[in-house]
Structures are given as structure tokens and as C-alpha cells.
Structure 1
Amino acid sequence: MVSTSTPVCDFGLAAPDFLLPDADGRQHSPGTLCGPAGLLVMFICNHCPYVQAILPRLVVTVRELQALGVGAVAIMSNDIEQYPQDGPDAMSALARDRAFSFPYLLDADQSVARAYGAVCTPDFFGYSSALKLQYRGRFDASRKEAAPPDTRRDLFEAMRLVALTGEGPREQTPGIGCSIKWRQD
């Protein structure tokens, strides 16, 4: 399991467009997912210990951000032939078991991860309501284990700022996680 960290935020970069299905076959795009105060795009997967460590708090954080007008989506881009535990049935089960309040989409051909420049799970992209990048950082100080409950909530604080002002913090700490499992074509 290779871990990697995210690059710095390229402020103002437009969100790449996509059209991906959820488990029920409904199609989603950045335009349909964006809330009045912005959009949080999260690249996650089921098996990654970095994702597992934050998942309970991530679900709560997303609900708090949605209350502020921030839309959210999770995208799974790993090669499901190599990692069947990240496949559609497991994705649906995780979303149901954790009561996701956001769509969990499968990027089967990995084109969306490539368009975004996603490098790991979790990888967070926070956009303004104009779908301009304002955050590319970590969830919090968690690694393969959850950080203490009183840890600074980097993602929440950044996206709250985006919701209130349209701009993210100028200082951001890169995220870290398991590398995306690219298909070997």
C-alpha cells in the first residue's frame, strides 16, 4: 500500500466536468451537485485505512457543510478488478451502512480522477459556487488512525470559509492517503 500526498491548491482552477452514475443509475455532474455555496469533491474508496480512519467524522462534516449550502460527492476511481472490495456492490453497502448524505459515484474508466489530478484516497477538492478550486488539502491530522477528537478540522474550516466568502484559506496542509490504484492497460 503506497501512500502519497496531494499537491498544493491551484486557486481558481475550474472543476473538470464529468457525468457519472450512482448505484441507482442516476447521472451526476458538478453542475447538478454544486450547492449555492460550493462543492466538495472527494476521491475515496472502501478499503483504504486513511479513509476508514476518518469516515465517521467525514459523514458528519459533510452534513454540516451541506447545512451551509455546500454540495458534496464522493468518487471511487480505483481499479475494481484488482480491488473488488471497492466495487459497486461494496460501494452501495458502505454508503447505506454509513448513511451517506451525498452520492458515491464509480469512475470506472478512471478518467475523472485523471481530469482532477487526484492522487490518493482520500483526496479533497473544494470549489466555490462558481466551481473554482479553493481547497486542496487534508481532512485533518488523521493518518491511518483517527486524530484525537479535538484536532483542528482543516476541511470543515476551509469549506466553511469558502461557503461564507467564496475563497479558501491561503495556507493549506496537503492531504495524505493511499495512492489511487490505476488500471494497468
Structure 2
Amino acid sequence: MAATTPICDFGWKAQDATLSATDGRDYSIKACAGEKGLVVAFICNHCPYVLGVIDRLVEDAAKLRQSGIGFVAICSNDATAYPEDSFGRMKVFAEEYGFTFPYLHDETQAVARAYGAVCTPDFFGFNAAGELQYRGRLDAYRKDDRPAEGRSDLVDAMVQIAETGKGPAEQFPSMGCSIKWR
């Protein structure tokens, strides 16, 4: 059964933690921010919702970087119960899809709990001051391909946030597989 995210809690401050990434380095979440904001995306390797959007997610992260917005992805799923979400498989997944952003392993699930992440994918968009301004979907197409003329809710919202510091009043929840808790 699919889970959906709650309404954006505007102004909530980004939580920081240092986690291991698939590129062999450790990253502070806040250090991944660009000068105009940060997207923290909770994803995993096996969820059909993530697999349905992963190419668009990578493309949108590159677009956001051009607007001064950093991007980081985090996998918090229980790898014991879901071995396809193990750190080793995360490395393969990041390479296979050409990630140009850190893909972090939240082995203890503490970061997902601190953020209140509920599903994969789950997107948190912060302004330059580290305040939550977007909690919504990537786009309206879910697991389907985005048409050439289709828009990205995440990119549109984050560009607005980069320009004004404020997120859109109307936001649509993300939907995906629930986080696989221990």
C-alpha cells in the first residue's frame, strides 16, 4: 500500500547529520546545500515509485544545481529485511543511474526519524536559511514518464524558493512505498 507525505511544515529547520556516501566519503547534510537552498530526498533502490522517477530525479537535481540549490539523497530502509537497499547495492544503484549528488546511508534510521520521512521518494525543500518551504512530489506523473512539455513540481517550487525564499502555497504530497523501519 502506498504512503503519502503530510502537508509542508513551513519554516521547520533542516536537521544535520554526517553520513557515509556511496562515493566513499562522509557528508554533512547541511554542507550539501547550495547558496540558494537544499533538497533532501529520501529514496531507496527497490521501490517501484523511486524506480519510476529515478531518471527524472537525477535530471532535476542537475537543473536545481544550476539554480544554486544543492541536492542530497538518503536511503534509510532496513537493509537486513530489504537487502536490495544495502549500502553495497546503494553504490551500484548510484553508479547505474549516474548520480551527481551524494547518496547517503542512514543505517540507524535516525535521520529519517528526525525528518519525519514516511515514504520513498519523500522530498524536503529548504531555502537558503535552512527553513522548510517544500514537502511534496517530484511531479504529477508518479511512475509514468514525464512528457516533454510536462513540469516538475519540485524544480518549479525550488526555483521559486531560490528567488523568493518562500515555497508555493499549493503543494501536492509525494506518494511511494513506506520507509522500511526496523
Distance 1:103 1:45, change over 3 A: same
Stretch deviating more after TM superposition (17-26 or 60-69): 17-26
User: Aligned pair 1:61/2:60, yes or no?
Assistant: yes
CA–CA separation in structure 1 for the residues paired with 2:118 and 2:105: 16
Aligned residues: 182
Q: 3-state SS of the aligned residue for 1:42? A: strand
| 1:37-68 Cα deviation digits (max 9, x unpaired) | 10000000010010111111111110000011
Q: What does residue 149 of structure 2 align with?
A: 150
CA–CA separation in structure 2 for the residues paired with 1:173 and 1:152: 13
Q: What does residue 132 of structure 1 align with?
A: 131
CA–CA separation in structure 2 for the residues paired with 1:144 and 1:128: 27
CA–CA separation in structure 2 for the residues paired with 1:170 and 1:19: 31
CA RMSD of aligned residues (A): 1.2
Shift of 1:149: 4.0
Gaps of 5+ in 2: none
Gaps of 5+ in 1: none
Q: What does residue 22 of structure 2 align with?
A: 23
Stretch deviating more after TM superposition (62-71 or 89-98): 89-98
User: Aligned pair 1:70/2:69, yes or no?
Assistant: yes
Shift of 1:147: 4.4
Shift of 1:90: 1.1
* Alignment-mate amino acid for residue 26 of structure 2: Q
| % identity of equivalent residues | 53
CA–CA separation in structure 2 for the residues paired with 1:42 and 1:122: 7
CA–CA separation in structure 2 for the residues paired with 1:143 and 1:98: 18
Shift of 1:99: 1.1
* Alignment-mate amino acid for residue 6 of structure 1: T
TM-score (structure 1 length as normaliser): 0.94
TM-score (structure 2 length as normaliser): 0.96
Q: 3-state SS of the aligned residue for 1:80? A: coil
Shift of 1:94: 1.2
